[in-house]
Structures are given as structure tokens and as C-alpha cells.
Structure 1
């Protein structure tokens, strides 16, 4: 995986961010989701690298990036803090303006980044999410059943950490199988990387903190910025066979949060870049070029 990509560790403050860099052209930052790492982009990265300089990172708390100690307000794992860190990574690499595409948790970081750094983000793509505040406000039996992990992972330390830590491989494989519609989309090499990183107790805790932040400080930030809309062009993609595409009018929800929105559903479950790599590549390339 990732032939012709170089690996780097970028130090931002007290933290280190792991990334791969490759390709040529305008800079495009790719952000992953839960419970994965930057490796989730391995199917689309080679083709995207023909058009863009790709920066593919492990988010704070995930993969081989730092997993700093959290705080009672969970601010350490707020999307604002993580978005700021990613902007500083791009600046360190010489990119003051860039494109960004995020999947799942990475898409929530992208949402915050587009609000907080409109002068940096030229275009943004969000894969298989609706806004965090929308998800919580619309919670019903259907949402709670499909997204039970949103309510499990936010329980106080150390309940979810202990239960997941008892068999993290089972948990990760179960989540991927539940959220995808074609489990054969995931190579054993990629799954091995997800397992290597996720099975670490520090990762399990940090990723719980990510969700705890989403249910607390992130909602406060969203409330404070409820009058703001994403200014840059926004692409939203979702899996037609997944929960988000079936439950929500994705474009309509994002038009409440952004000025210029376009998008489409793809024939997949939650993991678009791995389940429908060609369609994801085509959609991202058409939008960003």
C-alpha cells in the first residue's frame, strides 16, 4: 500500500502527527474516521495522487499519532483542537491554503475546520455524515439502534474502555462488518493496520474521548457558531445502502449549514473509499479539480 508515498512525523506543540505525503498538484488533505487510520484511503490515494499533492494523516488519538492525556471538559479531543492541529500540519508542510476531504470522524473535523479557518480551506468534502448537532437532535429508536456506539463510547471512563479492551479485535471487526455492506472490501493488510493501532489501550481511550467531546464541548462550539455557515464549496457523499443515506436527506441537512452544497449517494455502506473506491475517486476528482 501507498507506493511512492513518503512517511513523515510532524511535531505540533507537544504532539506528533503521522502522515503520508505523495503525488503532485494542489494540496489535498485526507482525514479518516473511526475506528480506522489514514490507511483507509489506500484504494483511492494512488489515483488521486495523479492530480493532487496528498497529505494523509492519522488524527490525534488514532493510528500512530499522539494520544495526549485528556481533560474533564474533553477539550483535548474537541474537533476544534484537532482541526487546528491539522491546519498547523499543513502550514508546516508549506500549505496555507488547501482542499480537504474527511470521512466519518474526519468529516466532523473537516466541518469544524471549514468554519474556523475559512481562509485556509478552499473546498471541502464530507463523506457519510450529517452534522453532529443534527444527529443528536434527531435521535430516536432508529438512530439509537444504528448509532448505539455514540451513546456507549461517551459513558464515563473507564466503562467503554474496559469493555472494548477485553476483546478489541472482536469489537473492531464487528463494527466494520455492521457498518459496511460488503465486508470483502477490506484487505487483510488494511485490517491488520487498523487492529495494530486500535488494540492499544491508549487508542481505545483516546477514541472514546473523541466521542465524549462530540457529545459535550463540540455541541457547545456548534451552538456558539449556529449563525455561521460553511463559506467554501462543499461536496457531500454518502452510502445509499448505509444508515445515513436512508435516514436523512443529506444535501438538505448540509444546506442548513453551508452556502454552496452539492453531492450524491454512492452504492455502498458507510466506508465509501473502500467499498466504492472508483466512484469515490471520480466524485472527489470532479469536485476538487
Structure 2
């Protein structure tokens, strides 16, 4: 999907995976945009036109997603830990010449951004997370409401290929149903973007990699988060979420994040879970105001 004439595709080899990305824009300040599940970097296509005049934008596919490499899984799921994904992104930005940068992430990408801000505090100058509460907080406050709303967290971590086989029977149905369930009632996804999500997600290896992402979240990511319990993000943090979604209904979002970051601001936008596609102009306006 074409992001514009100033954007070009690239593939960067990191120590753990080859990362597919597009990058461009008229600005000099680097901004890393990280997508969520079950999507790819294409999810930023409606936000990029508003931000491109101001930044050098980097939109990668996380390892295991899109056209990025899918490393072999391992027993402790460390190949798909947020720490491994954060390392990929730090190396990508260095390869592109950016020692310090801004990062904004949605959904799974927001969890990678959270880990990046902790593991690379000298490199992440500002961070934004969209429509999540911290992983540790969510698992530590699991109840029937959470298990119902986020059933996929507990489905995707099941072992022995169970979710892979079930999703693999009809990946397009599963993906489109996820988009419908999590978005607001007025949401409309671009047909070209949707086709790209389906293309990438339909590969059995991609389905497996995405399950490994969630298995890591319930195991090694929690171990890393426990080790960092009480340690707060140093850089300013912007938190955005949809007022029609589960996160808004379930948490005092800013208060929760104040337990994980020193400087927190944010707001709810009038949309469901997929902020960059449901409310792109509002997302861009919030990011520009935060960064300026």
C-alpha cells in the first residue's frame, strides 16, 4: 500500500530478524510507529499524511507480522518477547541513523513501545501508547469481565497448535471478525488495507508467530515486567484510548499509567479500539500537540 511519493520500502537485518518497513516524510525528527494485532504497518496509512510534513516517519512490521521475518519459536517464547521486538526496533532506528527518537504504538505495538521506553531510556525521548493498559496490570486484575472481553489473550496462549489450527481453518473470517468486534459501530476500514491484513495473516507461519507473541506476553514478558515492578518510564508518556472500547470501560486509564510512568498525560478519543484508522486526524493532532 502506497504511503506517498516521499516514502520508500526497506528491509533491515537486525540481530534477531529481518524487518520490513516503509519510511519517509519531510521532517527531520524521527517518529517510529508500531502497529498492533492482527495488522501490519499499513494500519498507519490514514495518520501518516497528517504527520509526514513534520517527521521522518518509520513504519515497520513487528517480527512475525506483515512481511517481516518470523524467527523460530522456542520453549520460553523469548523469540517473541517484547524485549526482543524492542531490540529489533532499536536496531532499525540506529541503522536509519536515529540515535534518539519518538515512538508511538497501538495495541501490541504499544506494549513494544512500553518495553522500549524501559530498555532504551537514553534513546526514546517521548512515547505514546494507544488503547492499552500495562500487561502486568491487566493480568494482575483478571476477572470475568476481563476474560470475556479479552478472551483472545487466553485462547491464543493455548499450546500444541490449538489456536493455530482453529484460526487457520478460516483466517480471513477470524481477522475481519476481530476488527468488527473491537472497532466502533461507525468504523470503516480501507479495502486495500484490509486485503493487506488478510494477505499477511493468512500464512500459517504468521498465525503461529502471532500466537507466540501472546504466549510470550503471558510468560517471559510478565517475568520481565515483574523484574521492573516499581520502575517507571522516564520520558514523557502520552496515553490515548477509544471511548467506545474495553479499556475505557474497564480502567481509570491515566491513573493506571501513573503507576508505570513519571510524566503522563492523555485523553479518550471518540472511537473504538483502532484509533489510527477510526480517528486518524485526532490521533495526529494529539501526537503533534504532545511532541510540540
Shared fold (TM-score greater than 0.5)?
Answer: yes
1:62-94 C-alpha deviation (Å, 9 max, x unpaired) = 000000101000000000011011000000000
Shift in Å at residue 246 of structure 1? 1.1
1:229-264 C-alpha deviation (Å, 9 max, x unpaired) = 000000000000100011101100000000000000
> Which of 180, 185, 188 in structure 2 is aligned with 1:185?
188
> Which of 226, 236, 240 in structure 1 is aligned with 2:239?
236
Q: Which residue of 1 aligns with 2:269?
A: 266
RMSD of equivalent CA atoms = 0.9
Checking the alignment, whether the CA contact within 8 Å between 1:177 and 1:183 is kept in structure 2 is no
Matched length: 289
Checking the alignment, whether the CA contact within 8 Å between 1:182 and 1:275 is kept in structure 2 is no
Q: Which residue of 2 aligns with 1:20?
A: 22
Alignment of 1:162-201 (within 5 A): 162-182=165-185, 184-201=187-204
**Residue range with higher mean Cα deviation, 241-250 or 7-16:** 7-16
Does 1:76 pair with 2:79?
A: yes
Q: Which residue of 1 aligns with 2:90?
A: 87
Whole-angstrom CA distance in 1 between matches of 2:49 and 2:11: 21
Checking the alignment, whether the CA contact within 8 Å between 1:25 and 1:51 is kept in structure 2 is yes
Q: Which residue of 1 aligns with 2:3?
A: 2
Alignment of 1:91-110 (within 5 A): 91-110=94-113
Alignment of 1:1-289 (within 5 A): 1-4=2-5, 5-13=7-15, 15-23=17-25, 24-182=27-185, 184-289=187-292
Q: Determine helix, strand or coil for the equivalent of 2:244.
A: coil
Checking the alignment, whether the CA contact within 8 Å between 2:16 and 2:84 is kept in structure 1 is no
Unaligned 5+ runs, structure 2: none
Q: Determine helix, strand or coil for the equivalent of 1:185.
A: coil
Question: What TM-score, normalized to structure 2?
Answer: 0.98
- What stretches of structure 1 move > 2 A for 4+ residues in a row? 182-185
Whole-angstrom CA distance in 2 between matches of 1:111 and 1:129: 10
Q: Determine helix, strand or coil for the equivalent of 2:39.
A: coil
Question: What TM-score, normalized to structure 1?
Answer: 0.99
1:17-75 C-alpha deviation (Å, 9 max, x unpaired) = 01111112200000000000000000010110111100000000000000010100000
Shift in Å at residue 182 of structure 1? 3.6
Shift in Å at residue 157 of structure 1? 2.7
Q: Determine helix, strand or coil for the equivalent of 2:184.
A: coil
